[in-house]
Chain A
Amino acid sequence: DAGVIQSPRHEVTEMGQEVTLRCKPISGHDYLFWYRQTMMRGLELLIYFNNNVPIDDSGMPEDRFSAKMPNASFSTLKIQPSEPRDSAVYFCASSLGTGYVNEQFFGPGTRLTVL
């Protein structure tokens, strides 16, 4: 099992540019989560999906952020336009939900730097 796959691993862009982060969850998992990690705020949940449907996006910071999950094996997190304060490590995680969602498997993360 390859685990959760994220791409790119590193992204450097300029303010105002569109950024798209990608995630492939573990096959068979029906929950997918997007997190953002910064030194100041720690690890924050942005949005999560269940069976490809967004369930809770209350953590999405503002309208510049959007996430989609067109199928069970792919999700994107898009920032348009990007700003320097968006610089962070973005993690995707997936889990097999039965009642309580136990173990969330995290990907290696995408380190985003907005200049």
Chain B
Amino acid sequence: GESVGLHLPTLSVQEGDNSIINCAYSNSASDYFIWYKQESGKGPQFIIDIRSNMDKRQGQRVTVLLNKTVKHLSLQIAATQPGDSAVYFCAETYNQAGTALIFGKGTTLSVSS
């Protein structure tokens, strides 16, 4: 079925470390993936996206990796900062228009200084 999940519900890191948040998806037909960050009391905020014709995309301090063979997505955050503490969701499209997203349950990232 169409579902997106995350391997770990929580991740604790020290400030300055690199963080890796993982996501597994089950729909091999999904062709667009997005990472969102949600801070407490706020709505999700777009971080970075990737299409299925790519295996890596970089942003500012963030990198998304896509492995279609094993249907795995990861978000790498370099030099993690306390402000990165939040819940991170991966999401995939479930229709050809790419408009509607299925979100995973989320991973809570805690950064200690």
Contact = CB atoms under 8 A, between A and B. Distances in A.
A43 B99 contact: no
Interface stretch (B19-27, B54-62, B66-74, B102-110): B102-110
Contacts of B14: none
A45 B2 CA distance: 13
A2 interface: no
A56 interface: yes
A105 B106 CA distance: 18
A101 B43 contact: no
B65 interface: no
Nearest to A31: B99
A95 B34 CA distance: 14
Interface of A: 4, 31, 33, 42-45, 48, 50, 55-56, 91, 93, 95, 97, 99-109
Interface of B: 32, 34, 41-46, 49, 51, 89, 93, 95, 97-106
